[in-house]
Structures are given as structure tokens and as C-alpha cells.
């Protein structure tokens, strides 16, 4: 084990540990021999409220906090809830880091988002371009709320010597993702759309936007590995991209998901609906250099695993 962390005596609190990414992080930590992992359940702790944050830290007796919790969704959810997404994420993050500092937590791992980047960022996105413009409008409130964790992290290191890091994962996907049509991201939304169409024998599906924007994606298990590697080995406030080197257009993605899921009908594009950010693709060299992370799961393989998992879950209902 690197640095000051050791598996036997370090207590780790993971906010959002019951969520999509959180379950993978918790499982991997326990598999590596971290036995004291505390997950504050949403029913017991409202992490937007300072008193609940204080109670969670006290109950966990944490040495390390990994802050995964977020109020998040796709383009539709961001358009409908800009105020909530801004306030809840800002208050959660700012108050949690402040209480971590007050309680002398040894390390704070803040999970940001690719939405922190400006709308028009040179591709591939490099950490040095993070402040070169305003984020894409539909997810700017969420992205800026998360970005404030980076400002806080750097300010706290400068003034208090507080050890916090800031990671920016690419769009995640994989088994266990959110398939709710009102709040899901693009991959689960497209998988659900295709499988629903097959069930109903529909001859076409309608997809938002023009299909021209591009995205990169990261398999959730790879992201969990990156977070743990950074927790163990990275101790700077410079932001770090967490992702893969892939880039695919939404049109190509839709065609691929249709093929892998078995949908053979027509794909209709609703160009009146928003596209979101024009391109998203990451430079991941800093993560490799600083803590040895490189994505392992190929995109087609990850999609197949995700589709198979969702098909199995649907069949059980």
C-alpha cells in the first residue's frame, strides 16, 4: 500500500456508496482488504444538511472520505431541475469538505464531472483547459456546482494544508446503471428505447438531437479502479481526467446499440431537441502518469455486458 493509507486501520466513508458507481467502489475496496467502509444511507442522512453531514462523519469515524454522491441526470433532467442540481450538489460538496477539514479527515476525494469543461473545449480535453470558457448551458448549473469543489480543494490545501483531490470521470455506463427514462443518461436511455421497441414490435425509435455530437465513455468498473488508485497514490489538488481514449458520435452509438440489442427498425432524429455539448473526449495521460490508471474494458464488450444485464433484469420483473 502506498503512502499513508493501510487497509487494516483506515476507515473510509463513501457518500453515494449505494449508487451506481458507489457499489463498484465499495466492492473493490472490500476485495482489496479495506474492511471498514461506511456508506451513509440516503434514508438516514440528508447530505445537503450540515447537521446530517456532521452526524455522518461522527458515526463513520472516517479517516478518508470519498464523495461520490450527486444529484444528477441526462439532458432532460438537467433542463427540468437546474436550480435543484446546482443547490443540492453545491451544498453537499462545500459543507462536506468543510466538515472534513474541521474533523481533521486525512484525505478527501472529490468526484467532479466532465460537465465542468467549457462548451467549446479543444479535443481531447486537457485539464489545463478547464477554465477557458463557460460550460454547455443545459448542464452548466450541475457542472459549476461540482467545479466549486475544485476551487475549495485548492483553497483548503493552500490555507489549511488539507489533503483533497479532484477527479473528473467521463460519462459512465455499465451493469447497474440508471434506466429510468426521465433521468437516465444516453447509453441506458438508448438501450431501453431499443429493447422496448423490440418488445412492442415498433418499426422505429425517435432519438433526441441530430446525432452529430460525440462522446467518450468509461466502463463503471474501470472508474472504480481509477478512484481507488487515486485515493491510494495521488495527493495533489490539480484536477485529473478519468476516462478512456474513445470518442464516438451519438449517431454511431445509436446504430451500435441497436445492432447489439437486436433492434432492426428505423432510427428517427428529433432535431428540435438539444444536442448538448458538441464533443467530449479526454486526454487521460495525467491519470496514467500520476497514479497508473488506464481503462481496460473495450467499448463493445462493455456495451454487451450492459445490455445483457438490463435484459436479464427486465426478464425478472
Q: Where in the sequence numbering do the catalytic residues fall?
A: 142
Q: How far apart are CA 80 and CA 246, in angstroms?
A: 30
Q: Which of 184, 179, 173, 312 is nearest to 256 (CA)?
A: 173
Amino acid at each position: 500500500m502506498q503512502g499513508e493509507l493501510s487497509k487494516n486501520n483506515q476507515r473510509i466513508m463513501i457518500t453515494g456508496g449505494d449508487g451506481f458507481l458507489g457499489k463498484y467502489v465499495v466492492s473493490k475496496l472490500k476485495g482489496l482488504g479495506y474492511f471498514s467502509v461506511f456508506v451513509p444511507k440516503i434514508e438516514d442522512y440528508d447530505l445537503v444538511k450540515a447537521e446530517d453531514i456532521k452526524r455522518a462523519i461522527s458515526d463513520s469515524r472516517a479517516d478518508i472520505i470519498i464523495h461520490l454522491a450527486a444529484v444528477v441526470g441526462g439532458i432532460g433532467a438537467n433542463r427540468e431541475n437546474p436550480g435543484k442540481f446546482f443547490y443540492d450538489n453545491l451544498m453537499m460538496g462545500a459543507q462536506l469538505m468543510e466538515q472534513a477539514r474541521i474533523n481533521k479527515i486525512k484525505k478527501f476525494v472529490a468526484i467532479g464531472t466532465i460537465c465542468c469543461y467549457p462548451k467549446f473545449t479543444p479535443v481531447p480535453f486537457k485539464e489545463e483547459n478547464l477554465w477557458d470558457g463557460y460550460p454547455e448551458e443545459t448542464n452548466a448549473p450541475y457542472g459549476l456546482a461540482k467545479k466549486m469543489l475544485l476551487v475549495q480543494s485548492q483553497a483548503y490545501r493552500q490555507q489549511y494544508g488539507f489533503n483533497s483531490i479532484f477527479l473528473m470521470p467521463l460519462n459512465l455506463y455499465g451493469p447497474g446503471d440508471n434506466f429510468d427514462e426521465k433521468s437516465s443518461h444516453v447509453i441506458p436511455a438508448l438501450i431501453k428505447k431499443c429493447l422496448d421497441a423490440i418488445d412492442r414490435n415498433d418499426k422505429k425509435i425517435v432519438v433526441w438531437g441530430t446525432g452529430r455530437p460525440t462522446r467518450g465513455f468509461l466502463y463503471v468498473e474501470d472508474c472504480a479502479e481509477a478512484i481507488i488508485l487515486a485515493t491510494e497514490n495521488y495527493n495533489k489538488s490539480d484536477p485529473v481526467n478519468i476516462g478512456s481514449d474513445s470518442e464516438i458520435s451519438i449517431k454511431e452509438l445509436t446504430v451500435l446499440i441497436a445492432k447489439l440489442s437486436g433492434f432492426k427498425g428505423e432510427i428517427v432524429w428529433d432535431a428540435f431537441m438539444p444536442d448538448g455539448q458538441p464533443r467530449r473526449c479526454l486526454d487521460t495521460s495525467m491519470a496514467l502518469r500520476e497514479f497508473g490508471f488506464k481503462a481496460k474494458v473495450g467499448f463493445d464488450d462493455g456495451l454487451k455486458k450492459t445490455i445483457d444485464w438490463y435484459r436479464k433484469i427486465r426478464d425478472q420483473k
